[in-house]
Amino acid sequence: MYVVTLSAAYGAGGGVVGPAVAERLGVPFIDRAIPAQVATDLGVSYEDALARDEQCKGWLQRVLTAAAPMSSDFMIGYAPPRTVLLPDSEFVACTETAIRKAVGEKGGVILGRAGAIVLRDHPTALHVRLDGDPERRVRQAMSMGSISEDEAREALSRNDSARTTYVRHYYRADPTDPSHYDLLLDSTRLSLDTCIDLITATAKAADHSNG
């Protein structure tokens, strides 16, 4: 049973590599299933769970966002929805539980969500990081997403910052630290197909040696 955690910087192709590796290994690609499980466990909507997925926001910011459509007249006595007041730490803890449950049943390839840290004590998990020069990641994002350079640069800044903040806030760790990973690949220099081949081969070799 293969378990692979995949950390990927924006534009590094994690959304392409992850599903392909999962298919090659015959295990589930675990991505949107995580917020779905969190929603079920916490009794909130999928949209609420997805909005908190890999996010780090204070309760005041969430309250103001939820109340944004309302005029100031109606803000007096406004009671925020229960889901807004649930602390992010509850969502993070529930996410960790969902990750462990998912891989415990069928194995899987997990994209993001500090998987390498959450499963650092897993006896057979392979922890992989995809990264690359920001300029090359911008170009790759433009090619993969058919977006403009300005859109790619803005998305890179926003996504890299959000993911780094998430991991540093909840795990006191740097997601770019090589010590978290068994395999680091520059997926802007290597083709995504080559990265898929390398990760698949490494996972199979590691599973064989563990067996």
Q: What is the pTM of this model?
A: 0.82
- The whole domain housing 184 covers 3-34+88-210
Query: Would you state the structure tokens that stand for residue 32, as one six-digit string?
Result: 């949107």
Rounded to whole angstroms, the Cα distance separating 166 from 113 reads: 9
Asked whether residue 175 is domain-assigned, the answer is: yes
pLDDT tens, residue by residue, 159-211: 999 889 889 988 999 999 999 999 999 999 999 999 999 999 999 998 656 65
CA angle, residues 201, 26, 15, in degrees to nearest 5? 75
Asked whether residue 39 is domain-assigned, the answer is: no
Asked if residue 67 has pLDDT above 70, the reply is: no
Backbone dihedral angles phi then psi of residue 55, each to the nearest 5 degrees: -120, 155
Asked whether residue 162 is domain-assigned, the answer is: yes
Domain containing residue 188: CATH number: 3.40.50.300
pLDDT tens, residue by residue, 84-104: 557 778 888 889 999 999 999
pLDDT tens, residue by residue, 91-139: 888 899 999 999 997 899 999 999 999 999 999 999 999 999 999 999 9
Confidence at 57, pLDDT banded by 50, 70, 90: low
For the chain, how many structural domains are there in total?
A: 1
